[in-house]
Structure 1
Amino acid sequence: MAHFDEKSGYIPCKTEWGQWWQTNEEVFIEVNVPQGTLAKDIKCAFAPKHIKIAVKGETVIEVGDLPSTIHSDEALWTLEDKKFLRVFLPKGLAVAENLWNSLLVGQYETDAWTFDQMEKKATLQKYQQENPGFDFSGADISGNYHKGGPKLSDK
């Protein structure tokens, strides 16, 4: 059986260096790197409230404050096809209410529509976790999301 995120897709926030997206439990960062980049060309530093990513001596993401803590000792990165750097950051607080509206405080922010879509997806993911016998990957949330609560409907 496919995992909820595989079936429902993800909501990316595009940046000048690539994109990032999140689930209730994790944040994923995808950095476009020059073709032919080797693992030894990549430097990633993770701390509970900070990250730094450099490729071939060029800083891609400066040290900055994360919106919430991560389990930095469980963070990891992979280089795929010598052209994509993928970073995995497990959130310290893994709940739908801990969605980040930016990758770093004041940097790489989502627009209002993208963040609303992230919130809707996180709520559906929460419903899926609370009700494992049901499939919410094709469901949609409509109505006034923040005030009055969401309403589920099938697409």
Structure 2
Amino acid sequence: MAERLAPEKRHSFMHDGKKVFEWDQTLEEVNLYIPLPPGNVPTKLFYCKIQPQHIVVGIRGSDRTFLDHPLAASVKTDSSFWTLEDGTMHVLLQKRDKGQTWSSPFEGQGLLDPYAADLEQKRLMLQRFQEENPGFDFSQAQFTGSCPDPRTFMGGIR
């Protein structure tokens, strides 16, 4: 069941025909996948600074940053982290408000279209119902109309 409620695919943000990052989310976290630039930069020089409402990704000793943006919502910095693997920086951002649906990781950048945002919210709501009611199968559940905000529906969760 959990596999069916996991993100089906990553959302991509493109700029000038190049992939800047991909992302997905669960009830508790937002995952960023940032392709590292090609070249001879040792991986130990890359850095990521995660603040409660801002993120910076760049190369140490250089004025070159790849991302320097406010986040769409607040994160828990003590539970957020980043790793490098196979030419990609994976940043796990722990949501401050569990269950909140993000339309994009960054404020004003790469927003999902309304249809995709609604699908994402419905998927997270199903994930929440499954988490709160283990043993019940919600895989065939469907929402009609707009999906309630999981933070306020039935008292919200944190």
Fold equivalence (TM over 0.5): yes
Mapped partners of 2:126, 2:35: distance in 1:
30
Mapped to 2, the partners of 1:135 and 1:84 lie a distance apart of 35
Structure 2 counterpart of 1:151: none
The Cα of 1:142 is off from its aligned counterpart by: 4.1
In structure 2, the partner of 1:8 is 5
Any conservation in 2 of the 1:33–1:55 contact (CA below 8 Å)? no
2:29 aligned with 1:31: no
Aligned partners of 2:43, 2:105: CA distance in 1, in Å? 23
2:45 is the alignment partner of 1:41:
yes
Shift of 1:8: 3.1
Q: Does structure 1 retain, via aligned residues, the 8 Å contact 2:33–2:88?
A: yes
Q: Sequence identity of aligned pairs in percent?
A: 29
2-structure distance, mates of 1:37, 1:140: 48
* Cα distance change, pair 115–38 in 1 and its aligned pair in 2 (3 A): farther
C-alpha distance 40-124 of structure 1, shift in aligned 2 (>3 A): same
Deviation at residue 110 of structure 1 after TM alignment: 1.1
Contact kept, 8 Å, 1:124 with 1:139, in 2: the verdict is no
1:49-88 to structure 2, matched below 5 A, reads 49-55=53-59, 57=62, 58-64=64-70, 66-81=71-86, 83-88=87-92
| 1:8–1:126 Cα change, 3 Å | closer
Give CA-to-partner distance per residue, 1:19-64, whole Å, 9 cap, x none: 1111111010011124576431311001111111125754222132
Unpaired segments ≥5 residues, structure 2 = 15-19, 149-158
Query: TM-score normalized by structure 2?
Result: 0.76
TM-score for the superposition, normalised by structure 1: 0.77
CA gap 1:87/1:42 in 2 versus in 1, 3 angstroms: same
Q: Distance in 1 between matches of 2:118 and 2:33?
A: 21
Distance across 2 between alignment mates of 1:55 and 1:125: 37
Runs of at least 5 residues in structure 1 that lack an aligned partner in the other structure: 148-155
CA gap 1:62/1:125 in 2 versus in 1, 3 angstroms: same
Q: Secondary structure at the match of 2:75?
A: coil
1:79 and 1:49 map into 2 onto residues whose CA distance is: 22
